[in-house]
Chain A
């Protein structure tokens, strides 16, 4: 693994929320790494901490949340130690982010051209407005916005959801970010538009070498796009592996359950019941003792309710947090 070109490494990151009701360990000691030009996926259900992980990387977690432990090493520097001013230079410049709701992440009173140009004008001091405009139009062309010169002066409400998400991607990539964090970028879009955006993200990675962290609940999206995936549950990473390995040989009962819950296309057999994981996601304020998936797990053993399992190497670069494999 020496010749890997690592861009980001997160070590034992903990982001806790200090609420009136107690401490919520939203991100509870996760470690991951992203190589240059790699697309990794973080999959999990609502409340598993995948979005808080991404916000932590940019240090955008707001009160009462706090990064309490861990390191976020980006290009050799620990972002956890950076001041607000230093983070301003990183955000939107070397790391940028796109959000789920393209409707609410754009400012309705400015034209999209102006909003995207702002990103360059802030980060690159020596650039003129005319040059910025030229760059924006180039970027609009790259992300497939039709009639980019005309659209430069359009307002967000004049665009469809798919086009707005393209504008967000243009904004995120205009400064040639090394890392793009995409938080459920296609969840609010229709399937035919989702396919367009996923295709665009793959092309951008191939053409510009940008690394992407794809945050999603959709295993289909992960299977289509990612090189590597992490499965998160209630603040912890349960399993991670290279994408083909993960889908071929899922090990954690949670991952297996998730994959089985998706209705299969080639159901030639008479309609059978869908597999479902019993129960629901635990309350982070009152996590079960031992393994946090234990109350929903069909394979739970005695030890599972006593001690939390460590993550172990299962070979083939596949790591899993489950007593079954210890």
Chain B
């Protein structure tokens, strides 16, 4: 096993919501609630879950784009929340992020050259002509023509924009990249191009990815390990193949079953459909937070929140595991 690159220890992130002018009661959204895990060098850890489960918040917390309420995050054995601002800025060379929306994450008033060159100049890696050469090199690396340098983002398609976002993210030769739903906004035929590009870059540059996604087919393809979240908590975590083949937590099983399969012969299978909606992260149910939707829930699930169980490889939080 490789070395641990990123370590999250009991990370909590609560957001306050104000009750308004008249009724000033404020409530807390438990976006990330006591999450711990390790990410190893050169692996792809996928973070899956439905909207509002806290996966993007967690991704942002790991690279200190937001502050956390409690807990610690270590990068290369340094607690990143202990670092001073200038130390953190230095560290930012090694940690980058790729966003979901290729339309909103590029400044429409900047040319592609300026967008990609900005981190290079800010961190004083190259100057002048050298910086420009680096931009050309990066564009080629992500499969765009260097002659596109002087164009603006609106002149590109979604897939090309995502390539620009990737070029910007790898401009400083980072070690760790948070990919926040990088292919969700793209068409199928473009999706596979970007997935291949991310895999090639990982191979070439020894990158470590946190791959946030709700697409279980893509996650199955790209990740080494997978972490399933529900309402701010980890439900199950383990090697991707293992988790897909033998899900231990009922939620994982339902999530995997729910994704439509592109083969009509599978439509007659006994399909498990999860009833109900995701509970509000403000008024969390007592006990296991999944029990209101879980068909196997028993009395104990309504009273006690399950601890994390399992071996060091494959963990789960459930009183009545499927295996």
Contact = CB atoms under 8 A, between A and B. Distances in A.
14 contacts: A190-B51, A191-B258, A195-B273, A219-B262, A224-B267, A247-B263, A247-B264, A261-B189, A265-B261, A274-B192, A276-B190, A276-B192, A277-B189, A277-B192
Contacts of A271: 199, 221
A218 B186 CA distance: 12
Nearest to B260: A220
Interface of B is mostly: helix
Interface in B148-176: 157-160
Interface in A224-272: 224-225, 243-244, 247, 257-259, 261-265, 267, 271
Contacts of A219: 188, 262
Contacts of A193: 50, 277
Interface stretch (B18-26, B33-41, B212-220, B311-319): B212-220
Contacts of B217: 220, 262-265
Interface of A: 45-46, 160-163, 190-196, 198-199, 217-225, 243-244, 247, 257-259, 261-265, 267, 271, 273-277, 280-281
A267 B245 CA distance: 11
Contact of B261 (A194, A220, A273, A276): A220
B157 to A, nearest CB: 5
A217 B187 contact: yes
Given A220-B259, A280-B159, A258 B273 contact: no
B258 A194 contact: yes
Contacts of B80: none
A257 B190 CA distance: 11
Contacts of A192: 50, 254-255, 258, 273-274
A229 to B, nearest CB: 9
B126 interface: no
A263 B261 CA distance: 11
B105 interface: no
Given A45-B190, A195-B271, A262-B188, 5 more contacts: A192-B255, A220-B259, A220-B260, A271-B199, A280-B190
Nearest to A46: B187
Given A199-B273, A280-B159, A45 B189 contact: yes
Nearest to B257: A195
Nearest to A160: B277
A196 B264 CA distance: 18
